[in-house]
Each structure stands twice: as C-alpha cells, then as structure tokens.
A and B are shown apart, each in its own frame.
Chain A
Amino acid sequence: MTEKKEEIRTGFYICHCGHNIGSVVDCPAVVEYVKGLPGIAVSRDYKYMCSDPGQELIAQDIREQKLNRIVVASCSPLLHEETFRKATSMGGLNPFYFQMVNIREHDSWVHTDKNAATEKAMDMARAAVARVRFHRALEKKKAPIHPDVLIVGAGIAGIHAALTLANAGKKVYLVEREPTIGGHMAMFDKTFPTLDCAACILTPKMSSVKNHPNITMWTYSEVTSVDGYVGNFTIKVRHKPRYIIEDLCVGCMACIDACVFKQKFEDEFNQGLSKRKPVYIPFPQATPQVVVIDPEQCLKLKTGKCKESCAEACDRKAIDFNQKETIEEIKVGTVIISTGFKSFDAKKLPQYGWGIYPNVYTALEIERLVNASGPTGGDVVMRDGKHPKRIGIIHCVGSRDESTNKWCSRVCCMYSLKLAHLLHEHSEAEIYNFYIDMRTPGKSYEEFYDRLLKEGVNFVRGRVAEITDWAMNKDEEDHLVIRVEDTLAGFVRRIPVDMVVLATGLEAREDAQDVRRLFNIGCGGEGFFMERHPKLAPVDTFTEGIFIAGACQGPKDIPDTVAQAGAAAAQCLALIDAGAIELEPNTAFIDEQSCSGCKSCISLCPYTAITFDAVKKKAVINEALCKGCGTCVGACPSSSIIQNLYEDDQIFTEIEEVLAHV
C-alpha cells in the first residue's frame, strides 16, 4: 500500500448513551487520552451521539475543522453505524471514512470494573483511530429488487402474506410441503375467544389463494436450494410426485372408493384418530382438491402388482404411476419463511400417560375429535368407545418446565379454555382445568376466561404430578386418576376422570436447523428462527430480503401470526416498491495484476461469485454476487484479493493497536 499523502485529521466522539456507557466508562478520560493519539484533530464526548444534535456535531466539525476521518465510540454498529455514516456524509465526507467502536455491548454492558472498562475503551478507541487512517472512499452499489416473492409454508401466516402481496399486484410463489395448504389452523375446530369456526374463516382464504391469478401455489413441494442475495434470489423447488396429474384431478374421490385397500393407514390430518387408504385427500376442504398417493403404502408403487382399480375408476385419466419428482427454478427478490411449529411430543412425559392410557389425548387430537368434519363428526367418544363424564385438561405440557421446554407457549391457556368449553358443549361432561398460572393477555381473552368460570368449569391451580389408572378407592376404579397438588387449597388431590387432555406446548419444527442453513438465517437457543431485533425488527432476519412470520419465530396465536404475516408482506412490498437496494460496499475484488491464477479461491466461494477467466488466466469476482464473507480473502495464498473495509492494513493495524499495551 502506498503511504497516504494527505494529512490525517480525525474526529473522535464518545457517547455516554445516557447511563449505558457513561456510568461504567469514564468518557471524559477517554476523550483526553484520545487527544494524544496521532492524527486527532477533535476529541469530544456527548450524552447521546445518535441524537440530531450529536449527529450535527460530527457534520459541523467536518466542515469547520476540515476533518477527514471520523471515529464514534458508542453502541453496536448494527444499531447506529448507518446513522453515523449519514452524519459523516452530511458533513461532506465519504461515509466510509467513518469507523465505529462498540463500547457498549463489548465494554460497559459486560464489565463492572470501571477502571478496566475505561482502559478497554481507550484500547478500542486507539485501534479504531489507527485503523481509520487506512480507510478509503467507497461507493454503495445498487441492486435491483426482483418483484416476485417466495413464501415458504402455507399455514395461516403464509396464506395471509400471500394474499396481501398478491392483492397488491405482486407475483407470489407459495410453497407447501404437505399435500394441502392450511397448516395447523385447518385442523382446529373453533378459535378463541370468539369461537368462530376455524374452517369457516380459513377455507375462503385457502380458495382465494388457489384462484388468485398472482399466486402460484405449489403443494407437496419443498425448497431445496437458495442462491443469490436480496433482490435476486435463485430458488430451486422440488415437486414431490403425488402420482396424480394435478391439472386433471377434480377431487371426485372415485379413485379412493375404488382402491383395493381397506382404510388401514393412519390419517395424519386426524392425528391418527381415523384411518385412510393409500390414495387419499387430507380433508374435505383440502386445497388443492387433488388426491395424493402414498408411495410407501400403494400396492402398485410398492410391488408393481395391483389391478389398478383406482386408475380404472378415474375417467379423467389423472392417475400417473410413473410420475417422478421434478425440480423447478425460480427467481424472486424477497422471501417470507412461515413454516410454523411442531406440537410438543407428549410421549416425552410418560407420567402423563399419553400412548399408554388410550383415553389420554393431546389437544390437537381433541381439536379433531370435537370437529364436525373430524373422525367422529364431533361426537366426543373415547378410544374405548365410551363417552366421558369427567374430563381433565392439563396445561403447560412441555411448556414452562425446566426438564422439557422453559418457555411459555402462549396459546395453551386460551386453547385449553376453548377446549373446555367445546368438550363440555359436545359431551356435557364435567371439566377440570389444571393450570400453573392463567395467562390470558389478549383482546377479550380475560373476558373469555371469566365466561368459562361462569360456565362452571373447575380450575385447579397446580402442576399435575401424574396420571394413573391405579385406583385407591372405589370411586377411582375404572378411571384415570389425576394426582396434583392444589396449591390454592394447599393439599394433594386425586381427581378421577374419564378422559385427559394434554395441552401440549409449541416447539420449533424438527428441521428448523436445516431451513435456517438453507436460507442463511439464525435460530435462537430454543430453535425458533431469530428476528433481527426483538422489538424493532420482529419479522426481519439477519439476511437481507428474508423475513419470518408466525410460529416459526416463536409461539403465537392466530391474531399475532396474521399480524406478523402482514408485517412481513409489508416489508417485502417496501423493498419491491423501492425497486432497488443499496448494497454494503464490503465486497472483495481481485487485483488482476497480482493474481497468479492459482484458482485456490474459486471453489471456496459460498456464493459462486468467483470464476476463472480462461483467457487472462486470472480469477474474477462478480461483485454483485459477493456478500463480503471474506473466505476467499483469507485463503488467497498471494493476498491478491482485497476486501473493502477489511483490508490487511486496516485489520492488522487494528489488531496491533488493540494489543499495543499487552
């Protein structure tokens, strides 16, 4: 690197961030220290650098003091790097002559020793002041935003987001891995607190999706690869063979009647409470109204030997046993991930007897059982054929529990109240709810709880210890006994019931980690997808152009899910209508003269941004594809790849200075 000829005039600013930094780091002492560093023309502290006057301070100093480098020691670059870059621009200086030092998250928030924290702030400031000398003026490049949107997961979140975008005139690809859209909501009977029927409010939206000219709905399909960057994603979608030609099938179900099998396979949609054939349609309002053949069960597909009575019965010739999976490639500019949740596996708590006692049910099973289109047509009849007279509903199964999941699943109290109401309505049984705390924070939720209290549901406060069929007296014989400490009454109770409902909590999908990797987003410790900021960017992710909505981000009810889906759609619209996005100029480029053409970098690029120019025999980086990860920069054996904002001189100087006192 050639020596910079210009005189370096650096402005240094340290922010108190109210008490966040100021109460731990001695800001005036840092100011005095920095004054003695080479190239410093201005060194100041200010209560809130991010405020308008704080920013103006920088701009004014640049103009009046002829500053050509700016260093701000404050919070995280994630929060305010852009703010201070703008302030630098306002002063007439290229914004990339600015460097930020994070003395909040990296210093004041994590240390209690004030002297040591102040010393650390000085070290970090010294490193930044030294580094910024090597900064260069950079220009942001603009990338156009492809107007089409991919939505992954077609539960209520995906459906709502798709309709919002499609109604705004945007083309949407809605990809769902199940044979039908609808997600969990389609399985529910009624919704709290209004008790309107889930199907009645959902299925019209499902058919709108199906019929919307702007929505391409792909069920039984999965995203297999994601390339590119915000505004310009290339997505590969795998269509699993359903052995039915979708365009020909009208959902008459003649094939199902004709299938040689008896109904002998577990019906997934009904949570195994009923049986289906290898050829089936998940539920009457499934969208699309197209049957699907399970290749693991179909005689023809498994053994090749079957009289194919289904194909014979289909007068539209829609059955195609030779169907193969296909891969389709699409281009989109933005992505919404709305892959939903998984119910806690009640088998993990054997003390509650699910899978052991036939009359112990999960909440999702009850949703189907009380459903008019469910396996019993809404008749609450138990697995043993009897009708329950007493039912116990156990809250927080796999929630708020150190041994399973620590978090509150947010919806279980309310759906337990709803199920209490519905079960009572359908069976006139006496209902007991066993809860730890009633959590009903939502519009009209507390009122719903009141209503249930008035309806005569029994509420017992306490975490249930176990469900057992071991009778201790005559009343308990032939019953399931719920053993619980009633923490309000202050003694242990044994309550005999006929039926137990486990209010299972919400978890991240089993393959959330795979999806996370596929889309290059983050997961929190509990496995749900991580939002960019818990308060201010709840549907953004750390990857630009990829948004999350619904329970894949964390447990939430339908209203919150729909709100998030709308927010995610709005974020997509904001990008699409802006037409282009400014890209960080932290990309890498190859110094053509220095490159020896050794090709070491090419296969390492995760974004396939590097190619080999066979004529010049040099590597070439496509800056539009480069995301600035630095992999090639580190691996280039002759250091012929340079990354803007992360040049060797900048990094080494920073390291040397931060360690200078060691």
Chain B
Amino acid sequence: MPAKPKVALYWCASCGGCEESVVDLAEDILFVIENVDIVYWPVAMDFKKHDVVAMKDGSISACLVNGAIRTSEQEEMAKLLRQKSKLLIAYGSCAHTGGIPSLSNQFSREQILKYVYEECPSVDNPQKARPQVRLVENGRETTIPAFRNVVRALDQVVDVDYYIPGCPPTPKLLKQALLAILSGQLPEKGTVLAPDVALCEECPRKDSKPIDLAFTEFKRPHQILIDPEKCLLAQGIICMGPATRGGCEALCTKGNMPCTGCFGPTSRVRDQGAKILASICSNIAAKDDEGIQKTLEGIPDPVGTFYRYGLAQSLLRRRVDLGAEPTTEAR
C-alpha cells in the first residue's frame, strides 16, 4: 500500500477561524485522517519548525496556509512550506486577499505601534516601551519576529497554487478541495476553488432585486428591521453580493445579514472594492453633488465596507505613503 499523501496546515496573521473551519468538517474529519497524513499543524499537533526543515523538498503533497503575512516569521514559514510542498494552497480570506488584517494597510507601522502600545485606552505603559526584535539582557539574547510595514496576501510573498476563499471557508469547499487534491483532478494552477459567478446567482433574495435600485440612502444592518425576503440592496443596505464570488451558499443573506465580501471577487475582477463602488455609485438616484454627498453619508467607512477582506489585493494595496514593502529588514 502506497504511503498516504502528506498534508500540512499552517497559520499566519489570522484569527484562528480558519483552523476552526477544518474542525467544522465534523465527522468528515475522519475521512481526512483516513486518507492523508497530517505532518504539520501547529494549532493541533506537536511538531516543530525543525521537523519541517528536515523534510525533503516537495515531500508535502499539499499545504494549507491561512492568515496574511505581516511578520518576518510568517514570511519565513511561508517560504519554508513553499519549498517543502508540492501544492501550496492559500486557505481563507487573509491568505487569499489579505483579509481583515490588511485593513491595517491604511495606517503606517508607526501609527499602529503607537496606538497599540501607547494610545489604546486599555493600555497602561507609562514608559512607552515597545517590543524589540532583539534584546540582550544578562548575557541572554531574545529575539522576536520583525513587524513589517504592510500586510500582504500569501501570493505576494510566495508562489501559490490554489486558493480556497472565505472567512472562513465553508467545510463543503474544503472537502471538495481535498477530494480534488486526492483524485488529482485539479483545475488550472492559480484557480480559486469556488464558483466563478457572483453571489447574487445563488442568493434566495435574487428575484426581489429591482432593475433600478436608485439609492436614496444607505442604512447599516443595525439601523433598520431587515425584511428577510427582499434584496438587501433594495433595502438600502450595502451588500457586497454582486461583486463577491459565490460558493458560500449565501450563508449571510440567508441569515438576514448582508454579504460583506469575504469570498473575494470573481476571477475577472482586479479590484473588488472599486467594482462594487462603481456599481453602487452609478445607481445613486441623486444626480447633483449635494444629493450624492448626502446619500454617501450612509457609508461612514468606505474602505472597511468595500475592501473589508481585500485591501492587500486591491490595485492600490496600501496607502501610498507607507514606504516600500521591505524584504531586507533585520530580523
């Protein structure tokens, strides 16, 4: 009997939800364990980095990496796992498009550190101490990973073979992906392993969407009682569905909440936020500056609304004045 394919799972800048989603496979996890050898999964199993270093290059059949890349350690691990894996798969929004962590690309490294270690109301740090990459005290040296200027998606650091989208991905998508890997029936490299049609197609509210939305005001979900049947955009709630890849089976809109865009854009779109912006703004009823401005006041956080999961993969990627993305910073 041939050896079972080896699988690794790793996390970078993420919340842990993606790891949970693997457990969400429920009894199907037994099928996974039956068919593959999990050789590295820091959140669940006790392997160390040196175990991975010791593996032969390309010996891992598939490695699922979730989380975005912010620190030097994440970058190093991504490169190591790339080297050891036949297939490197970006798992979840953060690895796929930068995710929530990449919203921090609106702020400089200094702004972030200053807030977190000095200004945040819950912080008590009168000395304004900041973590140091290297600290020598009493002859003992301690190092921690360096904190990069920007957050990047996985494929902005290493070559990625496939993407499984979602925040987190649904168990169904994960299972389909694993089956495809096991059977070797994989699509073209670089494919996102989910349907390539926007969410509206599978949304149960689709038929209630009017031809002419003609937005007069925008509301956030907590501001109105949402009609559970009617298209959310028709109710003035920003729904990212038209600009977001389907495949989640409309979990949010079925749960009476708008799509926030976690599956990322369809393959043809280069900038998910710009696309939904173009679409929504073109459909604003007012044609005069004042009226348009008034309507737009209903969107207090446009970047957080339209680029919630995808700022790192947008055309601009980050604020332009954050400086270059460093690769040579000392560890």
B49: CB under 8 A from chain A?
A: no
Q: Is the CB of A603 within 8 A of B213?
A: yes
* Contact of A594 with B283 at beta-carbon distance under 8 Å, contacts A603-B212, A639-B275, A640-B266 already known: no
Q: Mark A568-609, 1 if CB is under 8 A from B, else 0.
A: 000000000000000000000001011111111011100000
- A648 contacts B by Cβ under 8 Å: yes
Q: Is the CB of B276 within 8 A of A637?
A: yes
Asked if B269 is at the interface of the complex by the 8 Å CB criterion, the answer is yes
- Could you tell me if B283 and A593 are in contact, using CB atoms closer than 8 angstroms? no
A591 to B114, CA, bound (A): 49
Binds A, one of B122-130, B241-249, B290-298: B241-249
B186 → A minimal CB distance (Å):
17
Contacts of B192 in A (CB 8 A): none
Residue of A nearest to B214 (CB): A603
Q: How far is the CA of A599 from the CA of B207 in the complex (A)?
A: 10
Task: Say whether B198 contacts A638, CB under 8 Å.
Answer: yes
B268 within 8 A of A: yes
- The residues of B that contact A648 with a CB separation of less than 8 Å are 268, 270
A542 is an interface residue with CB less than 8 A from chain B: no
Pairwise interchain contact A637-B268, C-beta atoms closer than 8 A: no
Contacts of A597 in B (CB 8 A): 200-201, 206
State whether A596 touches B246 (Cβ < 8 A).
yes
A33 contacts the other chain (CB 8 A): no
Counting CB contacts under 8 A, is A109 at the interface?
A: no
- In the complex, the answer to whether A594 meets B279 with C-beta atoms within 8 Å is no
Interface check A330, CB cutoff 8 A: no
* Interface 9-residue window, one of A8-16, A180-188, A254-262, A628-636: A628-636
The smallest C-beta distance from B314 to any residue of chain A, in angstroms, reads: 14
| B186-202 Cβ-contact flags toward A at 8 Å (1 or 0) | 00000000001111110
| Interface residue tally for chain B (C-beta within 8 Å) | 28
Q: Which of A594, A598, A639 contacts B241 (CB 8 A)?
A: A598
Q: How far is the CB of A649 from chain B (nearest CB, A)?
A: 10
Residues of B within 8 A of A470 (CB): none
* Known A599-B211, A603-B212; contact A638-B282, beta-carbon cutoff 8 A: no
Q: Which residues of A contact B201 (CB under 8 A)?
A: 596-597, 617
Decide if B131 is an interface residue (CB 8 Å cutoff).
Answer: no
Given the complex, which residues of A lie within 8 Å of B196, measured CB to CB? 594
How far is it, in angstroms, between the C-alpha of A637 and the C-alpha of B206 when the chains are bound?
Answer: 15
Is A519 engaged at the interface, CB distance under 8 Å to the other chain?
A: no
Contact (A604, B266) CB under 8 Å given A599-B211, A637-B275: no
The CA of A600 and the CA of B281, in the complex, are separated in Å by: 10
- Determine how close the nearest CB of chain B comes to the CB of A94; give it in whole angstroms: 24
- B198: A residues at CB distance < 8 A: 596, 598, 637-638, 640
Does A612 make an interface contact (CB < 8 A)? yes
Q: Once bound together, how far apart are the Cα atoms of A595 and B198, in whole Å?
A: 7
What separation, in Å, do the CA atoms of A594 and B268 have in the docked complex?
Answer: 9
B220 CB–A CB distance under 8 Å: no
**Chain A 420-474 interface residues, beta-carbon cutoff 8 Å to B:** none
Chain B residues closer than 8 Å to A603, beta-carbon distance: 211-214, 283
Interface residue from A599, A640, A652 paired with B209 (Cβ < 8 Å): A599
- Whether a CB of chain A sits under 8 angstroms from the CB of B278 is yes
Measured CB to CB, the closest approach of chain A to B188, in angstroms, equals 9
A596 to B278, CA, bound (A): 17
Are A635 and B197 touching (Cβ within 8 A)? no
Residues in A neighbouring B282, C-beta threshold 8 A = 600, 604, 631, 634-635
List the B side residues contacting A634 at CB < 8 Å. 278, 282
Which residues does chain A contribute within 8 Å of B283, judged by CB atoms? Answer: 600, 603-604, 635
Q: Which residues of B contact A593 (CB under 8 A)?
A: 197
A463 CB to nearest B CB, Å: 42
* B210 in the interface (beta carbon within 8 A): yes
Pick from A602, A635, A640: contact of B268, CB below 8 A: A640
A604 partner residues in chain B, CB cutoff 8 A: 282-283
Residues of chain B in range 225-243 having any CB-CB distance to chain A below 8 Å: 241-243
Contacts of A638 in B (CB 8 A): 197-198, 242-243, 265-266, 268-269, 275
Known A602-B212, A604-B283, A617-B206; contact A595-B197, beta-carbon cutoff 8 A? yes
A652 to B242, CA, bound (A): 22
In the complex, chain A residues whose CB is within 8 Å of the CB of B209: 598-599
By the criterion CB–CB under 8 Å, are B269 and A596 in contact?
no
| Contact yes or no, A639 B211, CB < 8 A | no
Q: A604-B282, A617-B206, A635-B278 are in contact. Are A596 and B270 (CB under 8 A)?
A: no
Query: Does B275 contact A636, Cβ atoms closer than 8 Å?
Result: yes
Contacts of A640 in B (CB 8 A): 198, 266, 268
> Nearest Cβ in chain B — how far from A629, in angstroms?
12
> With A594-B196, A636-B279, A637-B276 known to touch, is A600 a contact of B268 (CB < 8 Å)?
no
Bound form: Cα–Cα A599–B279 in Å: 10
Determine the distance from Cα of A603 to Cα of B284 in the docked complex, in whole angstroms.
11
Give the distance in Å from the alpha carbon of A603 to the alpha carbon of B209 in the complex. 12
Complex Cα distance, B200 from A599, in Å, reads 9
Q: How far is the CA of A597 from the CA of B214 in the complex (A)?
A: 17
- Say yes or no: A596 contacts B212, CB within 8 Å: no
B104 CB to nearest A CB, Å:
25
Q: Cβ of B242: which chain A residues have Cβ within 8 Å of it?
A: 596, 598, 600, 637-638
* A residues less than 8 Å from B269 (CB atoms): 637-639
Mark B277-316 against chain A: 1 for CB-CB distance below 8 A, else 0: 0110011000000000000000000000000000000000
A594 CB → nearest B CB, Å: 6
Is the pair A639, B279 in contact by a Cβ cutoff of 8 Å?
no
User: Within 8 Å CB of B206, what residues of A?
Assistant: 597-598, 617
Inter-chain contact A639/B266, CB cutoff 8 Å: yes
Q: With both chains docked as a complex, state the minimum distance between the C-beta of B246 and any C-beta of chain A, in angstroms.
A: 7
B206's nearest neighbour on chain A, judged by CB, is: A597
Kindly list chain A residues whose C-beta atoms are within 8 Å of the C-beta of B270: 639, 648, 652
Q: How far is the CA of A637 from the CA of B269 in the complex (A)?
A: 8
CB closest residue in chain B, given A619: B211
CA–CA, A204 and B130, complex, Å = 96
Q: Answer whether A596 and B199 are a contact pair too, CB < 8 Å, given A635-B278, A636-B275, A637-B243.
A: yes
Partner of A594, one of B197, B212, B276: B197
Q: Please, how many angstroms separate the alpha-carbon atoms of A183 and B242 in the complex?
A: 54
Set of chain A residues within 8 Å of B279, measured between Cβ atoms: 598, 600, 635-637
CA distance A137 to B213 in the complex (A): 37
Which B residues are CB-close (under 8 A) to A631?
Answer: 282
Most chain A CB within 10 A, of B206, B211, B269, is at B211
Residue of B nearest to A594 (CB): B197
A596: chain B residues within 8 A (beta carbon): 197-201, 241-242, 246
Closest to B274 in A: A634
For chain A residues 619-662, which have a beta carbon within 8 Å of chain B? 631, 634-640, 648, 652
Residues in A whose Cβ lies below 8 Å from that of B200: 596-598
Chain B contacts for A599, CB-based, 8 A: 209-211
| Residue contact A594 to B266, C-beta cutoff 8 Å | yes
| Inter-chain contacts of B275 with A (CB < 8 A) | 636-639
The minimal Cβ–Cβ distance linking B268 to chain A, given in whole angstroms, is 4
Query: Whole-angstrom distance between the alpha carbons of A638 and B278 in the complex?
Result: 11
Mask, B134-169, CB within 8 Å of A = 1, is 000000000000000000000000000000000000
Residues of A within 8 A of B211 (CB): 599, 602-603, 612
Query: How many Å lie between the Cα of A597 and that of B269 in the bound state?
Result: 16
Q: What is the CA–CA distance of A170 and B161 in the complex, to the nearest angstrom?
A: 65
Quick one: closest B residue to A640, CB to CB? Answer: B268
**Complex Cα distance A604/B212, Å?**
8
Distance in angstroms between the alpha carbons of A634 and B283 in the assembled complex: 12
Could you tell me the distance between the alpha carbons of A637 and B243 in the complex, rounded to whole angstroms?
Answer: 4
Which 10 A-B residue pairs are closest in the complex by CB-CB distance?
A596-B198, A637-B243, A639-B268, A598-B242, A637-B242, A603-B212, A638-B198, A598-B200, A596-B200, A596-B201
Chain A to chain B contacts (Cβ below 8 Å), 5 pairs: A602-B211, A603-B213, A635-B283, A637-B276, A638-B275
Extra contacts, 12 of them, besides A598-B198, A637-B269 (Cβ < 8 A), are A596-B200, A596-B246, A599-B209, A599-B210, A600-B213, A600-B279, A600-B282, A604-B283, A635-B279, A638-B198, A638-B275, A640-B266
A interface vs B, CB < 8 Å?
A: 591, 593-600, 602-604, 612, 617, 631, 634-640, 648, 652
